[in-house]
Structure 1
Amino acid sequence: MAADHPTILATSGGWRSGHRTQLEFGPLIHHAIALSGVTGRRPRLCHVGTAGGDQLYFNAWVDEAARVAGVEVSHLNLFPMPPTADLADFVLGNDVVWVNGGSVANLLAVWRVHGLDAVLRRAWQAGVVLGGVSAGSICWFTGGTTDSFGPELRVVTNGLGLLPYGNGVHFDSEAARRPAVHAAVASGELPATYCTDDGAGLHFRGTELVEAVAERPTAGAYLVERDAATGVAVESALEVRRL
């Protein structure tokens, strides 16, 4: 089973505290699964924790969350080595790939060492839904603002580029994010940039935005563009559908 078109759900959310477990799948992760169109069996989700160093404790939390949700989960750990010599077979056997947060700069470097960047492009073209939170959102774009290098935000411009835009995350919860995006767009370091508050996500079909969605009642989404006449970054709020 695969989505009808290449599909990405780029978010600043997805996880929530569990009732009897540390984590549960939030509405955004459930939405990613729904976008895959899977029916008649348990959905298959590949969790990728590269940005956080493939922490085994977090894998265990994801396993518990998947059990509660009735989802079959696998973990694509690249530390200390990949789980298989055939990463394409491993990834393309899933309905959804969900990439967790952490260091997007480290994530991109490690993925390229193992050729996972090409595998994920192939999965996207095949209709495997690609999604994630924070670093797992920025990675699909040309780049975005990140604290990968330290507490002062910097801009990465070597994202996978499946989506030809910039990406900003945590717009409402980290005060430095919005001005950093505006500065990068105004200078031309980033192209037009789609951004999310915590709990919001952006659904792309191919490279076109379908809609912004949110699992929180006030979470917003935005587009920041450079005004060619003035060189100033202009922010527009997007309509958001509540999940």
Structure 2
Amino acid sequence: MTADAPTILATSGGLAPGRRTRYEFSALSRLAVDLAGVTGRAPRVCFLATATGDNPVVLHWLTEAAMLAGWQASHLTAFSMPNLPDPAAHLLEQDVVWVMGGSVAGLLAMWRLHGWDTALRDAWQAGVVLTGISAGSICWHAGGTTDSFGPELRPVTNGLGLLPYSNGVHYDAEAQRRPLLQSLVADGTLPPGYATDDGAGLLYRGTELVEAVSETDGALAYRIDPGPDGTAVEEPLDTRRL
């Protein structure tokens, strides 16, 4: 069972501190799994932590959290070689692909090197739900803002482009995020797009945004468009509390 349309839930959330483990999956990640429509068996969720350099500790923490949630976990790694003989086939067998945050620039480079950009597009078109946090949100879009290159944020403009928008993450939590995204949209470096406060997410069916959702009180999503005279216009979206 897969989603009935290509589905992406792009978030600045979905993970919470665990009580017995490092992490537990919170409402945004649970929504992504629910969107796959799995019944009668454990949902199959594949983790990609490429943005952390496939840190085995991070993958362990994610697998622990998946076990607590009752999901069937697997992972796909690129370092030092792909851990599976046919990554594209494995992705197509999943209900959800969940992408960890970290270096979005590194993630995109490694995915393209191994052809996973094409494999992920094929999985998305086949109904596998794509989701993730931070870098795992920006990657699906045309681009966004990133600390991949250092503490001063810079634009990334070579996202996978499944969604033809810019994407801002941690919009209310990191001081550089809001003004830089707005300036990049205003001057045309990035296309118009959407941003999420910590705890908010953007649900797309195909390339259409159908809903903004939140797992945190007060967390919102926003639309960012070019405005007059080199400015940007920010519009808060109706954001449903999960």
When normalised by structure 1's length, the TM-score is: 0.98
**Secondary structure, counterpart of 1:203 in structure 2:** strand
- 1:231 aligned partner: 230
- 1:183 aligned partner: 183
Does residue 116 (structure 1) correspond to residue 116 (structure 2)? The answer is yes
CA shift at 1:87, angstroms?
1.2
Distance in structure 1 (CA, Å) of the matches to 2:93 and 2:67: 19
Distance in structure 2 (CA, Å) of the matches to 1:189 and 1:223: 16
Residues 21-49 of structure 1, C-alpha deviation per residue, up to 9 Å, x if partnerless? 11111111100001111111000100000
One-letter identity of the residue aligned with 1:55: N
Distance in structure 2 (CA, Å) of the matches to 1:14 and 1:122: 24
- 2:92 aligned partner: 92
Distance in structure 1 (CA, Å) of the matches to 2:57 and 2:153: 28
One-letter identity of the residue aligned with 1:23: Y
CA shift at 1:160, angstroms?
0.3
Distance in structure 2 (CA, Å) of the matches to 1:215 and 1:77: 29
Listed as ranges, the gaps of 5+ residues in structure 1 are none
- 1:6 aligned partner: 6
One-letter identity of the residue aligned with 2:164: P
Distance in structure 2 (CA, Å) of the matches to 1:135 and 1:143: 10
Distance in structure 2 (CA, Å) of the matches to 1:58 and 1:94: 20
- 1:28 aligned partner: 28
Q: Map 1:71-110 onto structure 2 (within 5 A).
A: 71-110=71-110
Residues 212-241 of structure 1, C-alpha deviation per residue, up to 9 Å, x if partnerless? 0011011111011002x4332000000000
Query: How many residues align structurally?
Result: 242
Distance in structure 1 (CA, Å) of the matches to 2:85 and 2:19: 38
Please report the RMSD computed on the Cα atoms of aligned residues, expressed in angstroms: 0.8
Does residue 153 (structure 1) correspond to residue 191 (structure 2)? The answer is no
One-letter identity of the residue aligned with 1:152: E
Distance in structure 2 (CA, Å) of the matches to 1:49 and 1:69: 19
**Secondary structure, counterpart of 2:101 in structure 1:** coil
One-letter identity of the residue aligned with 1:217: D
**Secondary structure, counterpart of 1:194 in structure 2:** strand
Percent identical among aligned pairs is 62
- 2:239 aligned partner: 240
CA shift at 1:67, angstroms?
1.1
- 2:18 aligned partner: 18
Distance in structure 1 (CA, Å) of the matches to 2:85 and 2:70: 28
CA shift at 1:143, angstroms?
0.3
Listed as ranges, the gaps of 5+ residues in structure 2 are none
Is the Cα–Cα contact under 8 Å of residues 170 and 196 in structure 2 kept in the other structure? yes
Distance in structure 2 (CA, Å) of the matches to 1:189 and 1:5: 30
Q: Map 1:37-56 onto structure 2 (within 5 A).
A: 37-56=37-56
Distance in structure 2 (CA, Å) of the matches to 1:107 and 1:22: 23
- 2:163 aligned partner: 163
Q: Map 1:213-228 onto structure 2 (within 5 A).
A: 213-227=213-227
One-letter identity of the residue aligned with 2:241: R
